[in-house]
Structure formats: C-alpha cells, structure tokens
Chains A and B, each alone.
Chain A
Amino acid sequence: MWRYILKRLLQAVICILGVSVIVFVLARLTGDPALVMLGPGARLEDILALRQKWGLDLPMIVQYWRFISNAVHGDLGLSLRYHAPVMALWLGRLPNTLLLAGVSFAIATVAGVVGGVIAAVKPGSWFDRLGKTVSFLGISVPVFLTAIVLIIIFAVKLHWLPVYGTGTWRHLIMPAFTLAWASSAGQLRLTRSAMLDVLDAEYIKLARVKGVPEYKVIAKHALKNALIPIVTMAALQFMVLFSGTVIIEFIFAWPGIGWLAVEGARNRDFPVVQACALMTSVLFIAINLAVDMLYAYIDPRIRYQ
C-alpha cells in the first residue's frame, strides 16, 4: 500500500517537472517579451535594460532554474499588464472557476451515473433510448452552440436568466448546464456499459441466489465493481470540463481562470499564460493522484499489490 502511494507521488512530481519545462519553453517561443512590452518603436538600450532586469539575457538553463525555484516558493512573476503577482491573480480567479466547474461536474456526474445505472438495469427500455439520444446530442453538439442557443432562448427571448456575468445563482444556471450536458453524456455511456458488464458477472448471480434485494444487488454488488471506470471517467470529465470553462467563461463573461488565460494570451502577458498553464497542470496532476488513491480504496486487489 505505502509502496503504491509513494510510487504515485514520485510519478506526480516527475510529471510536474516535465510540465514546467514545457511551459517554460513554450512561453519563450512566443517572442521576446521585452520587445512586446516596449512596442515596435523602442530604443535598443531600453530593450537591453529590460532584458537585464528580467534576467532574459542569462543562459536558458539559469533562467529555468530561477523560474522553478521561484515557482516552488509560490512566485510565478509579475503580470506585465496588471503589474501584480500572477499567482495572486490566478488564486483570485480560482474560486469562480471552481464554482462553475464544481457545480457542472456535480450535475454531470450525478446525472451520468444515475442515468447510466438505470439504462443498464433496463437495456432497451424507453429510458435507455432517451438516454442514448440525449447523450449523443451532448457529445456531438459543441458547447458554444449550446451556450448561444440557451442565451437566445432563456436570456434574450424569455428574459428568465441574465445573459452574462456573475454574482447570483441565476448567473450560474446556463454556463453550468451547458458544461454539464456535454460531460454527462460520456459518463452516462460509460456507466451504462460498465454496469452491463458487471451485471453479467457470476458474483451478481450469487448475490441474487443469496436473497439480496435487487436494489442492493445493483447499488452494492454491481456499482462498487463498476466504480473504477466510473471514477476514471469522472476525473477525465472534470479535466475536460475545467478546460471547457475557457470557452464558456469567455462566452458568459465569467471571471475565472479560463478567461484570465484568454486575456493573458491576447495581451501577450506571458507570465499570466505561463502561470495558468502551469497551475492548471499541477491541479490536474493532483486530481490524478487523488484518483489513484481512490482506486486503492475501491479495489482491494490494487491495495494489496
């Protein structure tokens, strides 16, 4: 068990280091920040002075070392535009994104798992067919289209919901629903097929032979066995959803990380882009680590490896 945890932790650290290298290199490939900052009419001395100030004249390896050791201390540099620490900017926006992603994720997961289980218990029923149609649409319709259609119907025509912005739960409905629909579809399909597999197993028959009530056969014996693919899918969906917030936040003017990243890219504010990429990756790696721990909790065969 401890070996398993230690191994996963080590893998996570290596992963973060790898990501930091990629982010560092990519940020430097987009052009000389000093040039960008000062504009086309800048004088050479100014450019050189700025480069020296930011350490851009040092060898790459030294620059990377500075970057990573600062990052470990929570310092990812200053935003070129806001002249504020980007870490603070990122953390300031994080709650908004977490709220949007969290609510969408909760809706998507509950709807996907419950719907998938019901569909698997009665394959071929009207519910199963409805679920199939709804999830097919959810997967194939792009989120921006859903968003625009929703805005037109519920905000522009009916005036039931605000078009964009944040503040009340009513602001949350359309963006959360848009994201949830797209990601519940995958969870529904996966849960259905995982449950169908498990329900065929001999141990399910044995549970019935023992006289276990049907709801318990499904909720205890079958669901726990289907949980590994379900949890994997949930984690994957959370990450897809988190990335999806980039578009949704932009459409609904939701002041989260996604929007911060888009603004950063448009303003060529490279420390902001760099921080968003790095921190989001760290978040994803942390989620993966948590999922690995969850596997061990669910399945004793992993725990006793």
Chain B
Amino acid sequence: MKSVEQKISSGNVLEVKDLKTYFFTGRGVVKAVDGVSFELKEGETLGLVGESGCGKTITCLSILRLVPGPAGRIVGGEVILDGDDLLSKSEKAMRRIRGKKVSMILQDPMVSLNPVFTIGNQMAEPVRIHQKLSRRLVWEKVKEMLRLMSIPSPEIRIREYPHQMSGGMRQRVVGGIALSCQPRLLIADEPTTSLDVTIQAQYLRLLKEVQQKENLAMIMVTHDLGIVAKVCDRVAVMYAGKIVECGDVREIFYRPAHPYTKALLGSLPKMEERQEKLYTIEGQPPELHALPPGCSFAPRCPDVQEICKQEYPPQSIIKDGHCTSCWLFAARKA
C-alpha cells in the first residue's frame, strides 16, 4: 500500500537516480554516464543538452536497458518508471515496456526504418506486440497513427517502402511508431538533426501537440538550445557523463550558474547581433576513458580554482528546482 501512495504522492513518471553506464573497452573504462539523476513529471518536457559525446544517447538507451553490448553495461543506479525499478526487471518484462510504456525516437531517422519491410508492416509491429487487437483493428490503428502524424493518404503509404518516402515523412513514421501504444514516456534523441529547418519546426510542433494531448512525459535530447527554448519545460545540461546543471528553462536561460552552461549559451548565435563571429567554447571535451580528477570542465573553465582540479564539486541548490555542481556555488570545505 505504501508504495502505491508513494507513486501517487511523488507524481513523477520517471526518476533516474545516480545512473552509471560504463563501456569496458581495450583502452580503458569509458564512463559514458557517470552518476546521472533527474526526474520527470506527467506532461513535462526535459531537455537534455550537451556537446557531442557527453553521454546523452547512452543515458536514454540506459533507461530502456538497450546499452550497446557487450562492452557497455549499466553498473549502478536506479531507473524508476511509475514506481517500478526498471533495472531489476527481467529482459522479458523489459520487452513489454519498450515501445509501450517508454518509446524512443532514435537519433538518425533517415536510417532507422528497415529498408526491406513496408511502412505498414513496421508500424503494425509494436501494435501487434503490445495490444491484443484483431488484424483489421491493427491496420485501423496504423492508419490512425499516420493521420495523427499528418501523413496524407495513409492507405497508400502503408504499402510503400522507406526509400519511397522523403526524410520528413520517414521521421513522421518513426514518430508514429513511437506514439502508437500510448506511452507514458517519450524519449526523442535529436529527432530533427537530419531535417531541414522548416520541416524541423513542423515536426517539433506536431510532437508537442501530441504530447500535450496525451499528457506525455518527454525527454528531448538536443544540442540545439533554440529547440530547448521552444519545447522544453526544464533543462539538464550534461558534460562528460554528468549533469552539471539542471533547472527550469527560464532559470537556465536567464540565470545560468555553471560556467559550462554559460559557455553553451554564449556559443548560441543571437539574432539581434550581427553574426560576425560564431562563439565557440575553447578547448575540446575530455576523453571519457581518461578523465582528470576533480571537475571534468576545469581545463576549459574560465573561472577555474585550485580545488576544481582536485575534487568533484557537490551539488548546490541555487533556487527551488535549480541545481548545479560547481565549486563557485558550493560551501567551500575548510
């Protein structure tokens, strides 16, 4: 009984606690995800941002327990979906969750449809697996999803193959697949990077609409802060496998705390300025298999202190719901 109460009282669809996913490679241990925590409420959108290689995709795949093996392994933490810890579930139980309670739109939609099966076949698959429907109803559902994703003439489209469709169409199909079983949580891993700008905006609007209608929790992975500003409620900034700052979109945009967040915002070209120079962050992101002790951002940080190179900063709360891990905000140890 108690756990049920907790489920209701916390109101979180997803809680990720101290998640650690490492790759055990010949060159050493790559700590792709190293103690990531965040939570997500119904209807809420969390933006996960950070430079390439900081561990965004691996965080998402870890939630679904689909870390690329055999090198990759989840070595610690908890992933709690509606009060259930996914990391202690059997593989069979996980399969009933994938595509049903949690769906994901993969990073590259252009290649995420199988070239040798029809669109209809691929869209029907999750419906068939997760819902006990008759053949006819499965096809009805598929057509309904195509209509939901604003794809014209679904009757014709279901018999087509991926190569007969444009990139934007394919992306909608992938979105339709993800939404076909009324998931609780939708993970969108840079869903628009391979699309051109107008189609990108259309697609995001579509996703947002469906999300609001179904009250979905959503994780939007991106390195485009413009997208974050448009669709997210909260933002988690990731650097070298860790979340360095997390807070409401407004807080993060107007009162960024962590020097890395500031740098990211600084690298965003502003409309009003004449774009004579594009800001970039000095230096390279670190190699994850040989992280320096202390804060991983220290070598690139403009406000670096002695302690930053020795010890990782604890989390400090700046304001309700706005946290950062940086020595500038931590009570200095004696």
Contacts and interface: CB of A to CB of B under 8 A. Distances in A.
Interface of A: 124, 201-203, 205-213, 221, 224-225, 298-301, 304
Interface of B: 64, 66, 70, 95-100, 103-104, 106-108, 111-117, 125-126, 129-130, 161, 163-164, 174, 177
A203 B163 contact: no
A299 B104 contact: no
Contacts of A210: 98-99, 103, 125-126, 129, 177
B22 to A, nearest CB: 19
A202 B108 contact: yes
A222 to B, nearest CB: 9
A203 B115 contact: yes
Interchain residue pairs A-B with the least CB separation, the first 8: A211-B99, A210-B99, A211-B98, A203-B114, A300-B161, A210-B126, A202-B112, A202-B111
A221 B113 CA distance: 10
Contacts of B130: 211
A209 B112 CA distance: 11
Given A210-B125, A225-B114, A301-B115, 6 more contacts: A203-B113, A205-B66, A205-B106, A208-B98, A209-B103, A225-B115
16 contacts: A201-B111, A206-B113, A207-B114, A209-B106, A210-B99, A211-B97, A211-B98, A211-B100, A211-B130, A212-B125, A221-B117, A224-B116, A224-B117, A299-B115, A301-B161, A304-B164
- Which label, helix, strand, loop or mixed, suits the secondary structure of the A interface? helix
A176 B129 CA distance: 43
Nearest to B111: A202
Contacts of A212: 95, 99, 125-126, 129
A206 B174 contact: yes
Contacts of A301: 115, 161, 163
A205 B103 CA distance: 12
Contacts of A224: 116-117
B115 A300 contact: yes
A209 B98 contact: yes
A298 B116 contact: yes
Nearest to B160: A300
A202 B99 contact: no
A233 B78 CA distance: 47
A212 B126 CA distance: 7
